[in-house]
Amino acid sequence: MESKISFCIPLAILTAGISISCGTMEEFVIPGAGFSFDDAPPPRFGPVSVHDPSVFPADDVFYVIGSHLAMAKTGDFIQWNQVSSDWNGRPNILYPADNPDPSVQTMKEQIADVMRGQRNPLGFFASDIHLMPDGKFYHYYSITASWYCSAIGLAVGDSAEGPYVTQGLIVRSGEAADDSKTPDGTSAWIQIRFPNCIDPQAFFDNDGKFWLVYGSWSGGIFLLELDPSTGMLKEGAAINAESNGYGRRLIRNAHGAVEGPYIIYSPQSGYYYLFVSFGGLAAAGGYNMRVFRSTSPDGPYEDTVNHDIGKEFRHTSLKDYGVKIMGGYQFSRLGGPPGLGNVGYLSPGHNSVWYDADTGRYFLIYHQRFSGRGEYHEVRVRELFVTEDNWFAASPFRYDGGRVRSFIPDQLTGDWRLINHGRDNNTTPHESRIYQFRGDGKITEDSGKDVGIWELGDDGKTANITVDGILYKGVFLRCWDDEDNSWVQAFTALSGEGVALWGAGAAPK
């Protein structure tokens, strides 16, 4: 069943503005139920490659800045355009220009200071750009040659695409700080105690304070207070004196696979959420995104079972910590056996998050690798949903601009493909399994065995799904499955222990 209607409607209504797209609207049959919906036209995705993408708004569009000074932009989180490619040793438009003030180190001097006799190749790793209230763009860049030979600096520009003028270094690891000493000069730099100074994110808290969260592997994740008028460290801030001058340690870590921090405040829940990536970033490294929360921007941050990760974290047991919102996965094709046909998605991670205050929607922006494509990666965007328990759950498919967001129970019956993300740093994709959602609220396997129950909330959106005795809370939604080129019913939900369960419609029998 398919019908076509002419249309001209607004798509992707975001704080950056409204784009209008005209064409045909198609009526699609949902898997397994026989109901049709008027939905948005199939999205036309525009792929770009930016590793460790950090999002910020400017000039009615959104940008992402990442490692190696790569940048891309979008007007709707669907179509993207590359602005700059990886640095690769040659300055591009985002390479910080020297400050005419002689008291500020030139970039050549900064690099020499960070290297301090090391011979490893030096590069620009993850960056973050923050649009300030006065219209200035603060670019927090990181330069590194090793865990103990890294630094975060600030460059300021009047436009998103530069030029940016360096203001100097903010924080440096051991080799660059007084011959292997901490910033306060009192201790030797040790990788199990002190940070690898990369992966910065600057943010304002709900009270107007300006912060920099940073860190990768060594020592954990740290927080410093900044002066918004300069973008540099705030003089006299007590928190900046902690950890021998590296600031508040939010995640205690003895050189384990935790990096890429990003903090966002949710006005719906009243919590600050700290996102990090666990595992190795390579295709076979098991990268996955996790989240913790706190009532204060400077912690303590906890997970669903109240681990205070500033004190209790054990780097040898990563799987035990945090809400794992997404790892490597693979949906089977509609009606096909598990593991066949569709692309395997590997090592998703190093994310940022955008909150659209006008619509109350959240968007997760990260880089994604793929089975069989080596280390190639693309920017991906998914919508995030605040669950009943005030945790974030990620859509099973990338953001598509679709509008269907409420259902009746009969529209959700039929075959479903379910993916349990578990708690591991999985290096191969977790594959989907086929279940049936019956009209009487039961969930069965192909054999007919009852394995759980499903329930749609009175709002037509809330999902309560119990499988093998475990309750998962989340939302039902409608998504574009770009592997099968069809709109499908879907859900995303979390267990009380922070395990993500995804569902996607499958073909009727």
Residues annotated as catalytic (active site), given as ranges:
52, 259
| Centroid of chain to Cα 277 | 8
Do 309 and 303 contact (CB within 8 A), yes or no?
Answer: yes
According to DSSP, residue 51 is labeled S
Q: Are strands 450-456 and 462-467 parallel, antiparallel or unpaired?
A: antiparallel
According to DSSP, residue 219 is labeled T
C-alpha triplet 145, 197, 309: angle, nearest 5°: 130
Of 329, 330, 331, nearest to 288 (Cα)?
A: 329
d(CA 216, CA 276): 10
3-class DSSP string for 350-390: EEEEEEECCCCEEEEEEEEEECCCCCCEEEEEEEEEECCCC
Kindly write down the DSSP assignment for every residue of 423-482, as one continuous string.
SS--SSPEEPEEEEE-TTSEEE-TT--EEEEEEE-TTS-EEEEEETTEEEEEEEEEEEET
Q: Which residues of 460-482 are buried (b: 16+ CB within 10 A; e: fewer)?
A: ebbbebebeeeebbbbbbbbbbb
**DSSP alpha helices (H): ranges in 179-327?**
242-245
d(CA 231, CA 235): 11
Return the structure tokens found at 293: 């929360």
d(CA 388, CA 379): 29
Q: Is 87 helix (H, G, I), strand (E, B) or coil?
A: coil
Of 218, 426, 260, nearest to 353 (Cα)?
A: 260
Do 432 and 488 contact (CB within 8 A), yes or no?
Answer: no
Question: E-strand spans in 100-148?
Answer: 123-124, 128-131, 137-146
d(CA 507, CA 487): 12
**Cα dist. 396→88, 133, 382, 383 in Å?**
34, 35, 8, 9
